[in-house]
């Protein structure tokens, strides 16, 4: 299978200025690149005329959660329509492997909206099942600490025995040997929240010889942000782990916005000494999306969503939780926005803040939040607005920050739930914010191609050059933008004319409208 893409401005992913040229694809790879018209010659390949648009390497989503959604919805329209051809999954400590009797039911309940049976037990088995569905994009998985811990000790055990820790080390080693691209933690979530420094160092020692990345959703992104970054640095140094990647880097909560200077100084000081390399990802939005259950006060915030939902079935427990929320303050809940729920009667309120929902339902926000959690805690997702636009800009300016959607691949329909608009619009927004900051388009493209390829060791992706995989995006830089918002989160990005994944066209919105 050959194809010659002519009449394009090649943005090769290095950050260098674009140059006119043509690209020959053969057997899923880039066979040749020429920077003069007719340079490759009539290679007896069908010609695709790029109409003078930019041809860039396929974008790499440095932080995604398509582990299960890509099985259920392999077309990945939300990702591919914004130019994404590869995603790093297994983030925030959550991966669909390793699976044992200790965590299988829990994982199936967590992902129940996708209606998928977990028939595998390890990365290799998961990978086989994924590839059997022929997903539109490439998926690279990390082994997640929460899944790993639950596979040997379940979701409730706080302190691990030596044998359990040993079991975790063995399973992590197995998944890394099968090709997992990194190891991730989500130390805010159960059971990662129970882990000690000693446990994490023991696991990082298994990872270190592979020279792959340790990614972490920090224990705290707000009140203890600096301490949490410092902890990650310390653990990596102690274990001899050289690559640290901070997930969705932010200063969460207005009271913590001023920590940005200290944060940037800490990263500058610790990331540049040769023994440790620090990178990060960020979505270009200031509202975060996570489980609604994180709005609960202690001790309910320590419960996983499946146990929480069980717990709330009891009327006394339910009332106690409503009261605890009320004591914490209605006003805090009013600013939170409902993004997704599997509970039918509340679907019409998706996109609204709890202040509005509370007014419409004539009930307190505390009651409504508890009710949503009682009906469907795992499916209740909410947007929390606690981030600063100015800090977002400062974070994006850092040369080691890639773009991560923090979302799962979705169809345009809402059949598998509603996405944060970042699931459809991160790439155009990220690139636009950088070009607004006086970066060139080429430099912005490098941040979503060669940079993440380097961080995650994807040696054959992220550049346009001979022998690289033929993952390509043809786009009009001036028209590349996203209108997706919380009312219309699944709005497709505009400006993308065609996307190739491993040499095959997987997205071409105007194919029927005369693009030859
Ligand atoms: Zn996370």
- Amino acid 108: pLDDT: 95
CB 61, CB 283: distance < 8 Å: no
- Amino acid 513: pLDDT: 56
CB 294, CB 386: distance < 8 Å: no
Asked whether the predicted pLDDT for residue 44 surpasses 80, the reply is no
- Amino acid 500: pLDDT: 98
Question: What would the pLDDT profile of 334-353 be if each residue is shown by its tens digit?
Answer: 999 998 898 999 999 988 99
Q: pLDDT above 90 covers what percent of the chain? A: 86
Question: What would the pLDDT profile of 378-394 be if each residue is shown by its tens digit?
Answer: 999 999 887 889 999 99
Alpha-carbon gap, residue 149 to 100, rounded angstroms: 11
Alpha-carbon gap, residue 324 to 297, rounded angstroms: 7
- CB-based burial, 127-155: b 16+ in 10 Å, e otherwise: bebbeeeebbbbbbbbbbbbbbbbbbbeb
Taking the centre of ligand 1 as the mean of its atom positions, its distance from the CA of residue 239, in whole angstroms, is 23
Taking the centre of ligand 1 as the mean of its atom positions, its distance from the CA of residue 253, in whole angstroms, is 16
3-state SS assignment for residue 470: coil
420-445 mean pLDDT: 96
- Amino acid 514: pLDDT: 43
Asked whether the predicted pLDDT for residue 81 surpasses 50, the reply is yes
Taking the centre of ligand 1 as the mean of its atom positions, its distance from the CA of residue 364, in whole angstroms, is 29
Taking the centre of ligand 1 as the mean of its atom positions, its distance from the CA of residue 78, in whole angstroms, is 19
Closest CA to 150 of 89, 187, 97, 191: 191
Taking the centre of ligand 1 as the mean of its atom positions, its distance from the CA of residue 290, in whole angstroms, is 8
Taking the centre of ligand 1 as the mean of its atom positions, its distance from the CA of residue 406, in whole angstroms, is 7
Angle at CA 410, nearest 5°, toward 405 and 415? 140
Say which residue the tokens 């947007």 belong to.
383
3-state SS assignment for residue 481: strand
Residue 260 contacts by C-beta under 8 Å, 6 or more apart in sequence?
Answer: 251, 388, 391, 394, 395
Taking the centre of ligand 1 as the mean of its atom positions, its distance from the CA of residue 247, in whole angstroms, is 6
In the structure encoding, which two tokens stand for residue 504, read together? 């095959």
Alpha-carbon gap, residue 106 to 95, rounded angstroms: 12
Taking the centre of ligand 1 as the mean of its atom positions, its distance from the CA of residue 433, in whole angstroms, is 22
Taking the centre of ligand 1 as the mean of its atom positions, its distance from the CA of residue 363, in whole angstroms, is 31
Taking the centre of ligand 1 as the mean of its atom positions, its distance from the CA of residue 92, in whole angstroms, is 4
Taking the centre of ligand 1 as the mean of its atom positions, its distance from the CA of residue 186, in whole angstroms, is 6
- Amino acid 386: pLDDT: 79
Taking the centre of ligand 1 as the mean of its atom positions, its distance from the CA of residue 439, in whole angstroms, is 27
> H or E element: which one contains 41?
none
Alpha-carbon gap, residue 32 to 22, rounded angstroms: 8
This prediction's pTM: 0.89
Asked whether the predicted pLDDT for residue 42 surpasses 70, the reply is no
> H or E element: which one contains 487?
none
Taking the centre of ligand 1 as the mean of its atom positions, its distance from the CA of residue 37, in whole angstroms, is 46
β partners of residue 86: 60, 138
For the residues of 279-311, what is the DSSP string, one character each?
Answer: EEEE-S-SEEEEEGGGGSPTTGGGS-HHHHHHH
CB 20, CB 8: distance < 8 Å: yes
Domains (range + CATH), the chain: 2-57+462-513 (2.30.40.10), 60-286+386-455 (3.20.20.140), 290-385 (no CATH)
Taking the centre of ligand 1 as the mean of its atom positions, its distance from the CA of residue 217, in whole angstroms, is 5
Alpha-carbon gap, residue 255 to 457, rounded angstroms: 37
| 512 — pLDDT class (breaks 50, 70, 90) | low
Taking the centre of ligand 1 as the mean of its atom positions, its distance from the CA of residue 62, in whole angstroms, is 12
Taking the centre of ligand 1 as the mean of its atom positions, its distance from the CA of residue 513, in whole angstroms, is 40
CB atoms within 10 A of CB 440: 15
In the structure encoding, which two tokens stand for residue 3, read together? 């194809």
CB atoms within 10 A of CB 93: 30
Alpha-carbon gap, residue 35 to 23, rounded angstroms: 9
| 93 — pLDDT class (breaks 50, 70, 90) | very high
Alpha-carbon gap, residue 257 to 255, rounded angstroms: 6
Taking the centre of ligand 1 as the mean of its atom positions, its distance from the CA of residue 93, in whole angstroms, is 8
485-493 mean pLDDT: 89
Alpha-carbon gap, residue 515 to 142, rounded angstroms: 38
């Amino acid at each position: 299978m050959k194809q010659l893409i002519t009449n394009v401005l090649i943005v090769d992913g290095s950050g260098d200025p674009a140059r006119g040229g043509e690209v020959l694809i053969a057997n899923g790879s880039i066979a040749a690149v020429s920077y003069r018209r007719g340079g490759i010659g009539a290679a007896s390949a069908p010609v695709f005329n790029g109409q003078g648009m930019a041809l860039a390497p396929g974008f790499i989503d440095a932080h995604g959660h398509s582990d299960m959604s890509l099985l259920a919805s392999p077309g990945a329209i939300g990702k591919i329509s914004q130019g994404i051809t590869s995603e790093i999954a297994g983030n925030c400590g959550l991966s669909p492997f390793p699976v044992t009797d200790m965590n299988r039911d829990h994982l199936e309940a967590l992902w129940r909206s996708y209606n998928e049976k977990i028939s595998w037990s390890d990365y290799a088995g998961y990978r086989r099942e994924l590839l059997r569905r022929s997903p539109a994009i490439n998926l690279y998985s990390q082994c997640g600490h929460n899944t790993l811990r639950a596979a040997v000790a379940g979701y409730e055990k706080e302190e691990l025995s030596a044998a359990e820790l040993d079991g975790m080390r063995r399973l992590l080693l197995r998944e890394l040997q099968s090709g997992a691209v990194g190891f991730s933690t989500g130390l805010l979530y159960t059971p990662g929240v129970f882990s000690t420094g000693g446990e994490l160092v023991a696991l990082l020692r298994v990872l270190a010889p592979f020279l792959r990345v340790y990614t972490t959703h920090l224990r705290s992104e707000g009140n203890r942000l600096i301490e949490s970054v410092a902890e990650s640095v310390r653990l990596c140094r102690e274990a001899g782990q050289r690559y640290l990647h901070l997930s969705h880097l932010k200063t969460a909560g207005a009271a913590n916005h001023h920590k940005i200077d200290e944060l940037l100084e800490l990263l500058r000081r610790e990331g540049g000494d040769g023994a440790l390399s620090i990178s990060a990802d960020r979505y270009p939005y200031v509202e975060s999306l996570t489980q609604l259950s994180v709005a609960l006060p202690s001790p309910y915030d320590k419960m996983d969503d499946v146990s929480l939902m069980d717990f709330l079935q009891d009327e006394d427990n339910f009332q106690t939780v409503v009261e605890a929320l009320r004591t914490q303050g209605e006003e805090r809940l009013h600013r939170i926005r409902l993004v997704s729920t599997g509970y039918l009667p509340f679907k019409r309120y998706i996109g609204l803040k709890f202040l509005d929902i509370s007014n419409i339902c004539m009930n307190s926000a505390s009651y409504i939040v508890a009710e949503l959690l009682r009906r469907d805690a795992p499916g209740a997702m909410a947007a929390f607005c606690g981030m600063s636009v100015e800090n977002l800009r400062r974070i994006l300016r850092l040369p080691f920050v890639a773009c991560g959607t923090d979302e799962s691949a979705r169809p345009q329909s809402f059949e598998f739930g509603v996405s944060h608009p970042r699931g459809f619009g991160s790439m155009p927004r990220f690139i636009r914010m950088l070009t607004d900051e006086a970066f060139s388009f080429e430099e912005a493209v490098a941040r979503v191609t060669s940079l993440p390829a380097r961080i995650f060791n994807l040696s054959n992706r992220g550049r346009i050059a001979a022998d690289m995989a033929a993952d390509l995006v043809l786009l009009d830089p001036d028209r590349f933008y996203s209108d997706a918002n919380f009312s219309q989160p699944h709005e497709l990005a505009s400006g993308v004319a065609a996307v190739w994944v491993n040499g095959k066209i997987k997205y071409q919105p105007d194919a029927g409208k005369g693009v030859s």
